[in-house]
Amino acid sequence: MESFDRLRDLTIALADDVHAAALAQEAGEVAARVAAARRRLSEGHLTVLTCGEFKRGKSSLLNALLDEPGLLPADNFYATRLVTTIRYGETERITVALPGGEKEISRAEIAQYAAEGGDGRPAVTVAIELPSPRLAPGYLLADTPGVGGVYTEHTAVTMAFLPQADALLFVADAGQPLLDSELDFLTRAGEALRATGDPGALVAALTKIDLVPDYTELLADTKAKLARATGLPPELIPLIPVSSHAKLAYLDTGDPEALELSNFPAFEKVLWDTLRRRRGPVLLGGALRDLSSALTALSGPVLAELRYLRAGTESELTSIRAELAERRQRLVTLAGEGAAWRAELGGQLTRVAGELRRRAASELATIWQRVASRYLYEERLLANPELLVGEIVTDVATTVGVLNSLAERETARVLRDFTLTHDIALHDPRFDRLPDPPVPRPDFDGLTTISPSRLALDEVTVVAGTGATLGGGIGSGVGFAIGTLLGGAAAVPGMYIGAAVGSAIGVLISGLGAYRSAAERREGEAAEIRRRRIMEELSTLRSAQEMHVGEVLTELMEKYTQAAVHELNSRIAQDAEEAEATGLRLEGAIAATEKESAEREAVLVADAGRYAGLTARLESLTATVTDSPASSPAAAPADSPAASPAATPAGSPADGVAG
C-alpha cells in the first residue's frame, strides 16, 4: 500500500478538482460538502499515545523518533508530569495551557512546566507544533506522565483517552522488569482495546538496550508478560528493542553503526505502519465516500439530460420525466420540518443511548464489586486510601473512554444503515466497501461550545464535597485540555466530545481530593470492620460517579444525534440540488431544436467524460485503500534488531517507510 501521506495528497487533489467542478456547475451544497470533507481530511490526525512508568525513556524515545535532540526534558533529574502533545506546524510554536489561559513559551522553558523537578508552574498541558517532516502526514504524538505513579489523575486521563488513540506506544526499560503498576495498566489497556474491538493498537518498545549486554531473555519475558497482562495474542503485540541514546548519537555524528545499534528503522516502520493500517483507511475512506456522493450528484444531471436527448420513444421520455417528478416529491417530503425520518432516527439513537447506559450501569456495578471482593483484600489498598480511590477512579475513567468510543462507532453505523434504508443520499455501490467515516461535525457553534458547568469549580465542590476543589481544578483542567488536544476539531468526537469527556473525567478525578482521607486507618481497627466502613464512606463517591457517567452519556448522545440529523439534512439538500439541476436541464432539452440538441449532446459527452475521469481516479484510490492486504505487525522484525536497518537510514514517512 502506498504511504498514507501520498494517498492523502492524492485524495486532497481529487477533492480540489471535484470542488472546482461543483463551483463551475453552481452546485453550492455539493461544493460545501466537498470543502468540508477536504478540511476534515487535511486537519485529521493519527494519534500515538505514549505510556509507561516514570523514567522509562519515553521522552528520549520521542526526541529520537522526531530527530529532535533536547526537545522534551529527558535528563535523569526530570520525569514528565504533564501530557505534552506534538504535532506538525509550519513554524515552531510551543504553548502551555494554564488555569487562566494559554501562554507561548520557548523550548528552554518546557522543563519548567512539563517536568518533575521543574519549578512547578501550574500548567495542565504543553502543546508543541514543529515543522517536522515526520509529523507532516498528520501524526500527533502525546507524551504522557508515568502510569501508576504518584499522580493518579495521570493514569485516569490516559485510560479515558486510550480508546480514542490510533496507537498505544508502551515503553518498557531493558534494565528493569515490568512493575506491578505497569502490568495493572496493561491489563486495563487490554480490556479497553478488546471492548472497542481494537486489539491491534498496541505497540511496545524496549528502551535502553545499549546498556544491557544481552537482552534476548528479557525481550521474550517482557513479551510474555505483555500478552498475559493484556489478554492479547503475542503475535498482535510487536515489541521492538531500541536505543534512543544510539539514535541520538547517530543524529550527532552520522555514524551508521550507531543507527544500526539503535534499531530505530525497524521501530519506526512498525509504528508508522500500525497507524496507517488502523486509522488511515478511516480518514481516507470518509473523504472518498463524500467524493463519491459529490460525483454522483454532479454527473447525475449531465447523464439524465444525455439520456433524454438519446431517448428513442415517447414512452421513454415520459418515464424519465415521471422518475424525476417522483424523486422531487420524495425529497420535498424528506426536507419537511415534520419529516418522520427525524423521529425514526432519534428513536434509533435513543435505543443506542439506552444500550450504552445499561452497559455503563453494568460496568460500574462490576467495578464496585471488584472493590468489595478484591481491592479491599489487597493490603496495599486497604492500608492506603489514596491508592484505593485512585484505582476506582481509573477504572471508571477507562469505562467512560470505552463508552465514548462505542457511542461514536454506533452513531456512525446507525447513520450509514439509516441512509441506505431510506435512500436519503446519492451513492455509488462501487464505493460501499469503504469504511464508515466518523460523524461529521456541523459548522455551527452549538456543537463546539463547552458547557461552562462542566468546568465550574463550585459544581465540582458540591458534588465531591469539601476538599475536592483542588482535585476538581486539576482534574477538569487536565481532562478538558487533553480532550481538546487529542480530539482535534474535524469531527464530532473531536474538540467538543473530547473536551466533554475530559472534563467529565476531571469531575471524577476531583473525588480524589474529597475521599483520599475518608478511609484513614483507625488505631487497632479490625480489617473486616475497616472494609465495611470504607465501603460505607465511599458510597457517596459511587453515587457521584454514577451520576456523572450518566450525564456525560446523555450529553454525548445529544450531540451525536444533533450531528447525525445535521448530516442527513445536508445530504438531502445535496440530493435536492441535483434533482433541481436535472429538471432545469430536461426543460432545456425539451425546448431545444434538433440542431441545438446535436450540439448539446456533444457538450454533454465531453462533460460526462470528465466526470468519468474523476470517478476513475476515485475508484483507483478506493481500491488502494480497501484492497491492499493489511500489514501484519508480526511481519516486521519486531522482536529483534532489523536485519539491515542501515538500508533505510532515515526511516521517515517521507521515504515511504511510514506507510
For residue range 132-144, what is the model confidence (pLDDT) as tens digits? 988 887 888 888 7
Specify the residue for cell string 481529487: 14
Q: What is the pLDDT of residues 439-469, one digit of tens each?
A: 665 543 333 333 333 322 222 222 333 333 3
Task: Enter the DSSP assignment of 440.
Answer: B
pLDDT tens readout for residues 225-255: 999 988 888 888 899 999 999 999 999 999 9
Query: Can you tell me the mean pLDDT for 424-442?
Result: 66
Average pLDDT score over residue span 68-75: 82
pTM over 0.85? The answer is no
Q: Which residue has the higher pLDDT, 368 or 486?
A: 368
pLDDT at residue 535 in the model: 87
Beta carbons within 8 Å of 645's beta carbon, 6+ residues apart: 259, 260, 262, 263, 264, 265, 266
Please return the burial class of 148, using the count of CB atoms within 10 Å of its CB with bins 0-12, 13-18 and 19+.
buried
Position 503 scores a pLDDT of 56
User: Is the pLDDT assigned to residue 64 strictly greater than 50?
Assistant: yes
Looking at residue 329, its pLDDT comes to 84
| Nearest Cα residue to 590 out of 309, 367, 383, 353 | 309
Q: What is the mean pLDDT of residues 465-494?
A: 44
Task: For residues 583-602, give the mean pLDDT.
Answer: 82
**Strands ordered across the beta sheet of 125-130:** 101-105, 93-98, 125-130, 83-88, 139-143, 46-51, 167-173, 202-207, 239-241
Across the range 265-283, mean pLDDT stands at 83
pLDDT confidence of residue 186: 84
Query: Where in the chain are the domains?
Result: 44-278, 345-569
In this model, does residue 653 exceed pLDDT 80?
Answer: no
* All cell numbers assigned to 91: 513554524
> 3-state DSSP call for residue 230?
helix
Beta bridge partners of 440: 491
Q: Which helix (H) or strand (E) holds 240?
A: strand 239-241
pLDDT(27) > 70: yes
CATH (residue range 44-278)? 3.40.50.300
Evaluate the CA torsion angle 21, 26, 30, 32 in order and state its sign: positive
Computed over every residue of the chain, the mean pLDDT equals: 77
pLDDT band at 294 (very low <50, low <70, confident <90, very high): very high
Predicted confidence band of residue 523 (pLDDT cuts 50, 70, 90): low
Which residue type occupies 402? V
DSSP single-letter state for residue 376: G
- pLDDT of the residue at 63: 93
pLDDT tens profile 402-422: 887 788 888 888 888 888 887
Q: What's the rounded mean pLDDT across residues 192-217? A: 84
Question: How large is the average pLDDT for residues 99-125?
Answer: 71
Q: What is the pLDDT of residue 379?
A: 87
Residue 125 has pLDDT above 70, yes or no: yes
Measure the CA angle with vertex 621, ends 619 and 627; round to 5°.
Answer: 90
For CA atoms 559, 202, 272, 274, give the dihedral sign. negative
pLDDT of residue 458: 28
Confidence at residue 504, expressed as pLDDT on a 0 to 100 scale: 57
For the chain, the residue count is: 659
